[in-house]
Structure 1
Amino acid sequence: MIYFIKIKKMVNLKEIHIISKDNETILFHYPSYTLISINDHIKEILEMIKSGISLSEISLKKNIIEADIKKLLLSFDKVINKNLLCKEKEIEIEIKERAIHRITLHISNDCNLRCKYCYANGGNYNLHRHLMTKETAKDFYDFCINNFHHIEKIVFFGGEPCLNVDVIEYLCSLFYNYKFDKSLKELPKFGIITNGTIWNKRLIGVIKKYITFITVSIDGEEKINDTNRIDKQGKGTYYRIAKFIDNIKHIPSVKVQYEATYTKDHIKENITKDDISLFFRKRFDIEGFLVDEISIEEDSNKLEFSVQNVDNLPECFTDILWAISFKHHLESCQISRLQFAISTSGLIYPCHMDVGIESLNLGDIKGDNIFNSKHIQDHYPLFNLINSKEKLCPNCWCQNLCECCPRSFFYDSEAKRYSLSPNSDKCKYQREYIEKILIAIVKLRQNKAKWQEYVNEINKKQKKYEY
């Protein structure tokens, strides 16, 4: 219901979400990002109002003066309207015309490893194994110059991209020799996502000359890493990867981070995500991130974390805290709009996980594609709505705090297409997860010592991460 008070704006109580978890109750007004700790008595009053019970009836049932209820509501209204005013004044981040945040460039459709959990079938995406040619690389270069004014980063991907160092060097040299006085205004950053098992003089020279950041896939200590990350002969890869990281760290112009896949084998061995992060800090002095193996993407362990260990709060904890503090909505991955993937043959896909799925082909870098064809654009309506959660998820209280992966939430694996409706089970889980984080934010702010410890940890991490 809408409760009327003589204020500048009416607060719609349907826009208030109440959360009770871990001996804490909070009120969250999602349009204004207002987060307030409340007691059970106030919670009951608000829930009664939301259910349609009149103030006079609540006054009798709760033995409270009606004027005090109005005073309570007015105090919330003042805070909410103040936050709404701050939100109205916020300056939207300008999206540059024809600007791209990231292009994932598949330059290798092959891999020298055979990781047991690989979603890409040993790196070939169920296609024939081959490397991108210099001709296709030149077509990609022309595509970038002709279509975009700004490209933040180009990430060499595979398979294993270091199998194709020729194309890495060739393509980077094309961009480095461009005058940047016509369409593309500045040089993109170049990065590599690698399994870290290839190391030679040629690669070292290319990395030193052109590469800004490298993400290395490694799952932890030797035993757990070598359970899944094996080569074609079935041998473990840990020591080769460790040597690669140690060597890369001696190149001052390159930032290195890890990407670890958290699997059921970690859970079986009682290895927590905290354990993995701590290992990488102690052994390599690097930061990074963990991704869940598909089979445990919604494992209940993900919901278990505590503000007592600020060193390893969930990655999205800081994002959500930032959104609430600055009254700015979080974005999902802007597939096709701000980032996309290119196959070894020059086909365009929304996401690197879509490569090889014919129904998700967004065109060719040499012909019609989603950047120059309205017909193709109209065929994928989701991509224009991803950044508009109010339209995409109009009735969801966590629409401004949700960074859901479109591939995970909107992709229909049976129909092999993107839907306009998210997966309901995943949304239910996501809401529970965000509720847990909001409770944790309130608890952390209440503990001054832990709050300062958290701020210090974030400042330390920011110096090491490549965003």
Structure 2
Amino acid sequence: MVNLKEIHIISKDNETILFHYPSYTLISINDHIKEILEMIKSGISLSEISLKKNIIEADIKKLLLSFDKVINKNLLCKEKEIEIKERAIHRITLHISNDCNLRCKYCYANGGNYNLHRHLMTKETAKDFYDFCINNFHHIEKIVFFGGEPCLNVDVIEYLCSLFYNYKFDKSLKELPKFGIITNGTIWNKRLIGVIKKYITFITVSIDGEEKINDTNRIDKQGKGTYYRIAKFIDNIKHIPSVKVQYEATYTKDHIKENITKDDISLFFRKRFDIEGFLVDEISIEEDSNKLEFSVQNVDNLPECFTDILWAISFKHHLESCQISRLQFAISTSGLIYPCHMDVGIESLNLGDIKGDNIFNSKHIQDHYPLFNLINSKEKLCPNCWCQNLCECCPRSFFYDSEAKRYSLSPNSDKCKYQREYIEKILIAIVKLRQNKAKWQEYVNEINKKQKKYEY
């Protein structure tokens, strides 16, 4: 019989559902069944429930067996987790510039220098990074040039890419990574164009929306707006067929003040530039009341992770949080390793040096950061949480203790509370959307369209 401790019941918006999280089973139930299940979960015997609810005990058993049948079927369909034996890295964020030509008001990196001296990565450090990669990893999916503003250091972009393109495959690395750039989109010259055309696969451009809202925060050293320079950059990059371009917009209180929703931002970029992208929240989920409000009546209004959660339930496969230090990490301009690009410059989070001892070759350093060994196992990290398989929480946001300047083994309880509420809303939305065949097909078509446009 199914373990009822593994069942979570959600009642919202005139809908009640049962969610069995180990099997990803999602079933719509009525209030009568909900009451019976809650009584069983609280420890009341079937005979006592039979008397209280005036229902035959055999019928209760039949109900439980029907759930058991569906759950066991889904458990059989559940994808087996593939153990990665080879050392494979999803993404390395390579800081090649500790300087920036902009002075965005909300910049977490203190104008691009991460509270360090302003400088660019040297070719010597770039060569050390290349050696570190080819000798330590079998596969690197992508290397992302980052800053500061990485386009201030086009010399190193070109030099490092050429090293990889001339690699003889005589070390550990078995295939070439893809190269990308995250840029503010204000630098454009013939040299950069040539390097992009030759080596770059994808470019992410930081832009917050149309002119007024973008220029509220994204300003240059003289305090002038940057929208038109960025728009011109995007228009030009789109003409390079080998490069996929997307936007990254920071959603701030200024957007809320101007009554600009996240959907408004997405719609603007589709109409003006015909590109997809993603939003970074400057405000927390607790502050953004709109995050928990959406409707299945408008497929464009569904939250970003709706598709991810639907995919997880459909294919019985857990969603992963960012695998900091395990599958992705950041390298500073001087060759120091950090869990995340937002950690660069924080001494207590230095995971070693690309030329010496580091988290990939030192057990002492590995043992000093226990979270990173658990982050790929939600069953161990969050053993009692019903949404462990559907949570894509950012470890930096949920586990980082800003006062102690370290990662904790316990997530922030308030953020977890809001995350669970958010996922509950999405599960209810999935059930409701499935009930409307026309809306469901509209949604599937829209998602298929987006996936064709937005891949790299």
Tell me the TM-score normalized by structure 2: 0.98
- Is 1:49 aligned to 2:50, yes or no? no
Counterparts of 1:464 and 1:360 in 2: how far apart (Å)?
37
Deviation string 1:287-314 (CA, Å, 9 cap, x unpaired) is 0011111456652211111111112421
- Contact 1:263–1:296 (8 Å) recurs in 2: no
Aligned counterparts, 1:328-367, within 5 A: 328-367=317-356
Shift of 1:93: 3.6
Of the structure 1 ranges 292-301 and 124-133, higher mean CA displacement relative to structure 2 is found in 292-301
Counterparts of 2:94 and 2:23 in 1: how far apart (Å)?
39
Counterparts of 1:295 and 1:442 in 2: how far apart (Å)?
27
Shift of 1:465: 1.7
Counterparts of 1:114 and 1:235 in 2: how far apart (Å)?
10
Distance change in 2, residues 1:183/1:297 (3 Å): farther
Please state whether the residue corresponding to 1:341 is helix, strand or coil: strand
- Contact 1:115–1:231 (8 Å) recurs in 2: yes
Counterparts of 1:166 and 1:96 in 2: how far apart (Å)?
36
- Contact 2:39–2:49 (8 Å) recurs in 1: yes
Deviation string 1:333-385 (CA, Å, 9 cap, x unpaired) is 11111000000000000000000000000000111101111110111111010
Q: Which among 102, 116, 120 is matched to residue 113 of structure 1?
A: 102
Shift of 1:210: 0.3
Shift of 1:20: 0.3
Counterparts of 2:20 and 2:46 in 1: how far apart (Å)?
21
Counterparts of 1:347 and 1:381 in 2: how far apart (Å)?
20
- Contact 2:292–2:425 (8 Å) recurs in 1: yes
Counterparts of 1:88 and 1:208 in 2: how far apart (Å)?
39
Counterparts of 1:273 and 1:88 in 2: how far apart (Å)?
33
**Number of equivalenced pairs:** 456
Counterparts of 2:380 and 2:162 in 1: how far apart (Å)?
43
Please state whether the residue corresponding to 1:103 is helix, strand or coil: strand
Please state whether the residue corresponding to 2:280 is helix, strand or coil: strand
Aligned counterparts, 1:128-277, within 5 A: 128-277=117-266
- Contact 2:359–2:366 (8 Å) recurs in 1: yes
Counterparts of 1:76 and 1:400 in 2: how far apart (Å)?
20
Counterparts of 1:237 and 1:382 in 2: how far apart (Å)?
40
Name the residue aligned to 2:16.
25
Deviation string 1:7-61 (CA, Å, 9 cap, x unpaired) is xxx3111110000011110000111111000011110111111111122221222
Of the structure 1 ranges 454-463 and 338-347, higher mean CA displacement relative to structure 2 is found in 454-463
Counterparts of 1:67 and 1:94 in 2: how far apart (Å)?
43
Of the structure 1 ranges 296-305 and 387-396, higher mean CA displacement relative to structure 2 is found in 296-305
Counterparts of 2:288 and 2:344 in 1: how far apart (Å)?
27
Of the structure 1 ranges 64-73 and 26-35, higher mean CA displacement relative to structure 2 is found in 64-73
Counterparts of 1:297 and 1:212 in 2: how far apart (Å)?
36
- Contact 1:218–1:260 (8 Å) recurs in 2: yes
Distance change in 2, residues 1:464/1:297 (3 Å): farther
Of the structure 1 ranges 295-304 and 232-241, higher mean CA displacement relative to structure 2 is found in 295-304
Name the residue aligned to 2:79.
88
Deviation string 1:83-112 (CA, Å, 9 cap, x unpaired) is 1122266xx345251111100000000111
Deviation string 1:445-464 (CA, Å, 9 cap, x unpaired) is 11111111111111111112
Q: Which among 280, 293, 309 is matched to residue 291 of structure 1?
A: 280
Please state whether the residue corresponding to 1:258 is helix, strand or coil: strand
Shift of 1:466: 3.3
- Contact 1:109–1:131 (8 Å) recurs in 2: yes
- Contact 1:180–1:187 (8 Å) recurs in 2: no
Counterparts of 2:176 and 2:65 in 1: how far apart (Å)?
53
Please state whether the residue corresponding to 1:296 is helix, strand or coil: coil
- Contact 1:257–1:466 (8 Å) recurs in 2: no
Please state whether the residue corresponding to 2:26 is helix, strand or coil: strand
Please state whether the residue corresponding to 1:36 is helix, strand or coil: strand
Shift of 1:236: 0.4
Deviation string 1:386-405 (CA, Å, 9 cap, x unpaired) is 01111111100011111111
- Contact 2:401–2:408 (8 Å) recurs in 1: yes
Counterparts of 2:7 and 2:137 in 1: how far apart (Å)?
42
Please state whether the residue corresponding to 1:26 is helix, strand or coil: strand
RMSD: 1.2
- Contact 2:286–2:415 (8 Å) recurs in 1: no
- Contact 1:298–1:429 (8 Å) recurs in 2: no
Distance change in 2, residues 1:339/1:254 (3 Å): same
Please state whether the residue corresponding to 2:79 is helix, strand or coil: helix
Q: Which among 308, 318, 322 is matched to residue 297 of structure 2?
A: 308
Counterparts of 1:251 and 1:364 in 2: how far apart (Å)?
36
Please state whether the residue corresponding to 1:240 is helix, strand or coil: helix
Distance change in 2, residues 1:298/1:35 (3 Å): farther
Distance change in 2, residues 1:384/1:298 (3 Å): farther
Gaps of 5+ in 1: 1-9
Distance change in 2, residues 1:423/1:296 (3 Å): closer
- Contact 2:93–2:341 (8 Å) recurs in 1: yes
- Contact 2:285–2:291 (8 Å) recurs in 1: no
- Contact 1:385–1:392 (8 Å) recurs in 2: yes
Counterparts of 2:34 and 2:274 in 1: how far apart (Å)?
46
Please state whether the residue corresponding to 1:378 is helix, strand or coil: helix
Please state whether the residue corresponding to 2:305 is helix, strand or coil: helix
- Is 1:319 aligned to 2:305, yes or no? no
Please state whether the residue corresponding to 1:311 is helix, strand or coil: helix
Tell me the TM-score normalized by structure 1: 0.96
Counterparts of 1:464 and 1:55 in 2: how far apart (Å)?
53
Identity of aligned residues (%): 100
Counterparts of 2:114 and 2:363 in 1: how far apart (Å)?
28
- Contact 1:226–1:236 (8 Å) recurs in 2: yes
Q: Which among 379, 398, 401 is matched to residue 387 of structure 2?
A: 398
- Contact 1:25–1:39 (8 Å) recurs in 2: yes
- Is 1:414 aligned to 2:403, yes or no? yes
Of the structure 1 ranges 332-341 and 453-462, higher mean CA displacement relative to structure 2 is found in 453-462
Please state whether the residue corresponding to 1:192 is helix, strand or coil: strand
